[in-house]
Amino acid sequence: ILPNSAEARDVAYHFHGYTNARAHEENGPVIMETGKGVRVFDNNGKSYIEAMAGLWSVAVGFDEDRLADAAYQQMCKLPFYHNFSHKSHGPVVDLAEKLISMAPVPMSKVFFTNSGSEANDTIIKLVWYRSNAMGKPEKKKIISRLRGYHGVTALSASLTGLPNNHRSFDLPFEGIKHTTCPHYWKDGQDGETEEEFATRCAKDLDAMIQAEGPDTVAAFIAEPIMGAGGVVVPPTTYWEKIQAVLAEYDILLIADEVICGFGRTGKMFGSETYDIKPDIMTMSKQITSSYIPFSAFMINERVYEPVADESNKIGVLGHGYTGGAHPVGAAVALENIKIIEERNLVQNAAETGAYMQEQLGALLDHPLVGEVRGQALIAAVEVVPPTGREAEFNPGVLGGRLNALMAENGVISRNMMDALAFCPPLIITRDEVDEVVDILGRSLNQLDTEL
């Protein structure tokens, strides 16, 4: 690391999350400088295909001038206003109307926040508020899933079902429970079919509700496809079975669409892909292609009505963010959604996504690949040790090395406990998919040689 370089100053002044600080001091950062299409370029001019769309989030590519222009125009017109009490402004009104019109199931209202974590945090507070408003103060527990990811604020980190986000923070909060992760390849038992596994997942949820007391459970939150937990694609009948259990006990369903929303799974929302009928939907990331922090959630009448009816009695919903409903974020979101629609990017996700799944699937023959899974433009390739050498490798080691080789070879992927994730911008072409898959094949061979 050269003295006074951006790398040196990053090490000196910038405290990163999700990294080992001492390792960061030694290795230094990768400093990204520019973006074009599906590619980003670092400060040494090295080009990478961003096969993770940043953080599962840049739908329209890394150089969309229309989004920059939408932000600029809104900044010139009204750079900031809030939505506390009765204040509002054009961009959020237009966006709220647009989102309601796009919802896969009837929705009533949209609430605006700044990040996926904040949106989920707010949802849980709203669910608690609703239970109080309904005179059911005991109905407050929330069930999420092991390996689900819902954010990092104290409350949304509690919803998250990954040890890394609980350990050392004394989380999860009481009243937040985690049920079975629907990953058949990893958690299916010997002789159990995928269908039987889905039934077991639903039974586990039922048993948890029974054990906690059905009158104490307010909501269940889940991603249609689990993202950061390893791109877990649920068994075909999983969602049908889960929804039947929730309906039996009058438990709200929250679909966390932060990754799946806006085309990722080949339909506008993951809920459409899996026939999920949520009461609440969380949206972020691809809503603005992450050009600007922004998030929102929609609620249906079942959620809204008790809250609206009773708010005069128990007091107003004491919740809102200065930057929530930001006019610049809303203007960028509107333009971004317009681009997704005009350029048929959801259809591209379905078609080029099917091609990507097929091409990645061909790698299943490789001795270091255990499973390839995914839907449209989200996928994971599970790296496994050579047969008979399982005991030699700690979880995450092989995936970590493969991920590093990918970056050296010019593709940014992401390793999650040996599941290498792919979630490219929705604009990706077949040729670019071929490049990613070629480099993955080459990197797997390099890893094989190293072992």
Residues that bind ligand PLP (CB under 6 A): 55, 115-117, 120, 149-151, 223, 227-228, 256, 258-259, 284
Least distance from ligand PLP to the Cβ atom of residue 432, Å = 23
Which residue number has the CB closest to ligand PLP?
116
Instruction: List the structure tokens of 123.
Output: 């949802």
Contact between residue 209 and residue 217 where contact means Cβ atoms under 8 Å apart = yes
Least distance from ligand PLP to the Cβ atom of residue 115, Å = 4
Task: Report the side by side order of strands in the sheet with 176-179.
Answer: 109-113, 295-299, 280-283, 252-256, 217-222, 141-145, 176-179
For residues 266-291, one letter each, b for 16 or more C-beta atoms within 10 angstroms of the residue's C-beta and e for the rest, the string is bbbbbbbbbebebbbbbbbbbbbbbb
Least distance from ligand PLP to the Cβ atom of residue 403, Å = 17
> What is the number of alpha carbons within 13 Å of residue 195 lying toward its C-beta?
0
Least distance from ligand PLP to the Cβ atom of residue 20, Å = 20
* Sequence-ordered strand ranges (E) for 198-294: 217-222, 252-256, 280-283
Q: Pick between residue 276 and residue 444 the one whose CB is nearest to ligand PLP.
A: 276
> Residue 356's closest CA among 287, 304, 431, 284?
431
Least distance from ligand PLP to the Cβ atom of residue 17, Å = 10
Q: Pick between residue 55 and residue 363 the one whose CB is nearest to ligand PLP.
A: 55
Q: Pick between residue 117 and residue 359 the one whose CB is nearest to ligand PLP.
A: 117
| 3-class SS of residue 396 | coil
Cα–Cα distance measured from residue 246 to residue 196, given in angstroms and rounded to the nearest whole number: 19
| 3-class SS of residue 433 | helix
Least distance from ligand PLP to the Cβ atom of residue 312, Å = 32
Q: Pick between residue 262 and residue 355 the one whose CB is nearest to ligand PLP.
A: 262
Cα–Cα distance measured from residue 412 to residue 425, given in angstroms and rounded to the nearest whole number: 12
Instruction: List the structure tokens of 97.
Output: 């109307």
Least distance from ligand PLP to the Cβ atom of residue 227, Å = 5
Residue 166: φ, ψ to 5°: -110, -45
Least distance from ligand PLP to the Cβ atom of residue 190, Å = 31
Count of residues making up the chain: 451
Q: Pick between residue 15 and residue 76 the one whose CB is nearest to ligand PLP.
A: 15
Q: Pick between residue 115 and residue 359 the one whose CB is nearest to ligand PLP.
A: 115
